[in-house]
Structure 1
């Protein structure tokens, strides 16, 4: 069974906030893609982190769980500024996925720190909410 913990766990390393950051990143990727790390598609050294990283940024809409977008798609279709709104939604998804990828790096030292995650999440939220004026 796959456990969502950093690669340093199980290798004799002490637990740390690095593992928490890893778990947060994997959880974020799971929520956005609708895929679990234990999904049968992840074989031959392909994992959720690599799957998302390979899709960024050009193929984001192909890997996003479309159940998340049903309401937004309807709003965008009804808007006069649908191109601008679609661009904002796309950039928001890319940003959230990048945060998940940065948090779930194999190397603990290459992961984002949670204070930086919070800053980036707030920036992304504010950018997304800016769409309300369109």
Structure 2
């Protein structure tokens, strides 16, 4: 499962609609709306959480995965040491935020979060990029 910074994950491309995703992965194992009215799809086998933004015509704008096969620039990341992975990646600007036993390591230029616990990456979050006009840069072209 390849994480494609600024574009998506695996076959998922930012800007897809729910029907495009369902054509690829089928019906989600769970679906709900968050407090902002966004539609969330959960795919258990793939360990994916997909967010379709309500205020963006329900386009896919955010992906979270804890899939052990997830790769970022050809490196598996889940279960790996956060310090080593951050050192090996070409992304040099990281902001860190601590939450009890977990830390979020955020790279804004790729809208990428590596979440770690006990210095080990447990999940990856990636979001659609916002361009200079303060609009989403949707990569999916229907």
| Global fold match (TM > 0.5) | no
The two structures have a TM-score, normalised by structure 1, of 0.27
The two structures have a TM-score, normalised by structure 2, of 0.26
Higher helix share: 1
Higher strand share: 2
Return the index of the structure with the highest Cα Rg. 1
